[in-house]
Structures are given as C-alpha cells and as structure tokens.
Amino acid sequence: MKRVVVGLSGGVDSSVTAYLCKEQGYEVIGLFMKNWHDDSVTISDECPWLEDSNDAMLVAEKLGIPFQTVDLSKQYKERIVDYMFAEYEKGRTPNPDVLCNREIKFDVFMDIATSLGADYVATGHYCRKDRVEKDGKTIYRLLAGKDQNKDQSYFLCQVSQQQLEKTLFPVGELQKSEVRQIAKEQDLITADKKDSQGLCFIGKVKLPDFLQQKLQPKKGQVIEIDSSHEVFSNISEAETNSELITQLKRDSKKLNLKPEFGKVLGSHDGAHFFTKGQRKGLAIGGTKKPLFVIDTDVENNILYTGQGKNHPGLHKKGLWVDNSEVHWIRPDLSLSEGETMDVKARIRYRQPLEKAKLYQMANELYVIFEKEQTAISEGQFVAWYNEDELIGSGVIA
C-alpha cells in the first residue's frame, strides 16, 4: 500500500484531499504545518493557527488517520518573511503564496514527508497533473484545475519535475461546490469553513499591517504626473529584426519618472508600503478621477501617481525576466537564444490568460503581450501556459 502525506491546513480543500486519498486506497498521514508564531510581529489578537490545527486534528480523527504537527516557523521566517521584507524595502512586490509553495510545501514539507516513508504528498490545490512519454522519458505536466474560478496552478508555477512526480492533487478534478458537498456528506468540521484570505499559512494577517510592524514609516512626497506628459508618449513599432531588441526593451522598459515631471499632492508614510496599481490608502482627495500609484521610488521615498485607471503610466505590453530567474516546469520546452514561443500568460493570480510571445535573448527572456497589461510589478511572477498546461514562469525584473 502506497503511503501519502497530506498537508492538512484546517481548511475544507485539504480535508477532502485526505478523504479522497483514503478512498483511493492509500495509507494516509495528516501533517499540519505551523508556520508562524513570532510575537514580535503580532498578527492579530486571534490565533488562527491554533484554531486551524485543531480543525485539522478533528478531521484526521474523523477519518481515522494518524496526525501530527510540524513546526516550520524557522524555515518560514528565513525563506518567506525575511525575503518579503527585503523585497518590499527594495520597492518590489513579492508573491508569498508562490514562494511558500516553492520553499516550504514542495521543499521542506516534502523532505519531512519523505522521511516518514511517503511515496507521495497530496495538497488541496485546484490543479491537475498528468504524464506523457517523450524520447523514452516520463514527463509530468501541471494542468489548470477543472474549476476555472478556483484554478490555483499559478501558485505552483515554480515547482519542478521531481516535485510534480511526487505530488497528488485530488481536488483538481472537482468544482469547489463538489468539494464542500463531499465534506458535508462525510460530516467534516471544515465543510462550511470560509477559505483563508491571509498570507499563505500565517492566517488572518493583512499584508500592510504585517509590513508596518517591521518596516519603519518615513514621510515622503506624493507626486501626480499628468497623463499627457511626454514621458508616456508611444514610440513606433520595430520594422526590422535589428530593431527587435530595441522594441522589446521599449515595450518592457520601466519608466524613468522624475519629481519635476509633476506636482506635489501630499505626503505618504513610506513608498515601500505601496505597490504599483494601488488605489486605496493614499488618503488624498480632490482629484477628478481616482488616484492610482503608477510607480514607487523607494530610494528617494517618492510615490508617483496618476488619475484614472486608464492612465498610461499603469499600462505596458511587455516585461522581462533575468535568465537566472527563468524556471521551466517543462525543461524539454525551454527556449534557446534567439527562439520565440507563442503562449498564454498571466502576471497575477486569477487574471484571465492573455495571448503573449516569449523572446529568449542572451541574458533575459522577454514576455510581450498582445494587449497592454495593467500594473506590471517587479518581483511578481509571470507564468506562461500552453492551452491549460503551465509550462514555465519567472520573476518580473
């Protein structure tokens, strides 16, 4: 009998995952990951992980499977939290959920599962996998979940072939409503529990509150730049291949904004608390259209803003990824220098897939979308797909 370790988070998806694995004839062990208990960064008066671990334990009891808690808070702090603070201080916008999967669930957690003699780990992610044979080798494919509204493949955009081989996604074939139905039928305590919206496995924490406890506030200027400023003027399309690289750079270039381009509207408490495209939290009124952050200059502590969601400072067609940050889930499909590939891509979770083209250059990979994208943010992940298969990803530079 094959052994499966399920990461029981205290939510409905992982509870049903454990049930389905048991139904499929596996020997199942439930593990709860305790990822955070640092009181120096108080998160809220509630203690969500206690409630969650208790629910996870009750589910394991109900299913008659062994259960234990593992404390991964040290690794979580080093690999996720410290990294996040460092990235925000640099003015980048990291994605903690993608990191948590890469660094914790599919790395540290997988090692623990292996030490418990597991043949597989199973997670409650809404995605699927299958396998194909190619040149005598087995290749695993990461596919979008059947529930289009809940597809979580994006969060797994950094997993490897070795990790996919060892992972099961039992709820990936189901709709969320079916998962809740199964939990009800099996009388699991998590059947009606709301999905957690906080940071990956820290629970109910809201990101700005979390950041404010570690990053020092410092006053700076909020500057508005008018949409008609020449810094936003479009330059014509490339005509020849020698111009291609110039065009790629142009499409994905970060705007070089300067204070003298605009007017001071007010002040803020720290540019590193804001991200591109953000509207809430500026606390400045009196403009015709709502104000959006179009860029942050963390070095000089300046927030650049523009009016309305169609402001040209919010939109561009392209981005680039340094070669060291490019990750192919399908290494057999990776591009050599000078090669291109038509794909569909997204730059954030739940964004509909958009047509794009990859251009592999000597030191970087360009992703150029057919349509302009809103608020492309450095530090976030871009993921590219072939139909419903996620084949690669990278950190936006």
294, containing H or E segment: strand 291-297
Annotated ligand binding at 251? The verdict is no
CA-nearest of 61, 29, 77 to 201 is 77
With b for 16 or more beta-carbon neighbours within 10 A and e for fewer, the 67-81 pattern comes to: beebebbebbbebbb
Q: Is residue 47 annotated as part of the catalytic site, yes or no?
A: no
Annotated ligand binding at 13? The verdict is yes
> 154 in helix, strand or coil?
helix
Q: Quick one: CA torsion of 48, 53, 54, 57, rounded to 10 degrees?
A: 160
Annotated ligand binding at 1? The verdict is no
Annotated ligand binding at 10? The verdict is yes
Question: Which of 21, 100, 127, 157 is the catalytic position?
Answer: 100
Q: What is the 3-state secondary structure (H, E, C) of 91-114?
A: CCCCCHHHHHHHHHHHHHHHHHHH
Annotated ligand binding at 117? The verdict is no
* Dihedral of alpha carbons 130, 133, 134, 137, sign: positive
Annotated ligand binding at 115? The verdict is no
Question: Which of 21, 127, 157, 200 is the catalytic position?
Answer: 200
Annotated ligand binding at 110? The verdict is no
Q: Which two tokens stand for residue 139?
A: 């290749």
Residue 106 near residue 79 (C-beta atoms within 8 A): no
Q: Is residue 127 annotated as part of the catalytic site, yes or no?
A: no
Annotated ligand binding at 132? The verdict is no
Annotated ligand binding at 336? The verdict is no
Backbone torsions φ then ψ of 293, nearest 5 degrees: -75, 120
Residues comprising the binding site for ATP?
A: 7-14, 33, 124
Catalytic residues: 100, 200
Residues comprising the binding site?
A: 7-14, 33, 124
